[in-house]
Structure 1
Amino acid sequence: MTLDQLPLGISARIAAVDWDMLVPEEAQRLRALGIDEGAKVKLAYRGVFLGRDPLAIEIGRMTVALRRAHARAMTVDTVPETQAA
């Protein structure tokens, strides 16, 4: 499943990122924020309008807003809550 499909509040680990789907500058910014393969994330919020943008993800102690198109480039695997910390 991709990050934009992850249910709210469920912990996951980013398994893969299709960097070719993203503009190089945007990919660099996401990597600088620690959003890369292996990162543990949790979807905290989805926008309420038609496009459901932006998405807010929790990564570590940060909350980062992402466009849905960026989240769609990331494949995630859910992890049990005991491993999410």
Structure 2
Amino acid sequence: MGVIMMAVVVGQDKMTLNRVHAGSSVKVEYLETSPLKERLMSMGLVPGTIIKVLRSAPLGDPMAISVRSYNLALRLNDAEKIVVSPTA
């Protein structure tokens, strides 16, 4: 009998919008479950959307982003629920 080996990936970090620096563009992968999920999706934050991080407030919260054709301010707590990936 052969032995089957399985690799387990542990601690794979996901990149969330609250970690993205000003001036960077990212693509939305998915939104985690939260009370604002449907509202954020209705504002255009759906998988595949490109977001540009514009700036953060002087104390860091909230952050300003550009989504489609408008700018949006998000609390860092809410931005933490948006999983993103770098754009090419």
Compute the TM-score of the two structures, normalised by the length of structure 2. 0.76
In structure 2, give the amino acid aligned to 1:41. I
State the partner residue of 2:51. Answer: 41
For residues 62 and 31 of structure 1, what CA distance do their matches in structure 2 show? 14
Q: Segments of 4+ in structure 1 off by > 3 A? A: none
Q: CA separation in 2, counterparts of 1:33 and 1:54? A: 17
Identical columns (%): 26
Name the residue aligned to 1:83.
none
Q: Aligned to 2:85, which of 51, 66, 77?
A: 77
Q: Give 5+ residue unaligned stretches, structure 2.
A: 1-14
Give the number of the structure whose residues are more often helix, by fraction.
Answer: 1
- Kindly name which structure, 1 or 2, has the bigger radius of gyration based on alpha carbons: 2
Q: Give the TM-score taking structure 1 as reference length.
A: 0.78
Q: CA RMSD in A?
A: 1.2
- Render the CA deviation track for 1:61-85: whole Å, top value 9, x for unaligned: 21011111111011111113xxxxx
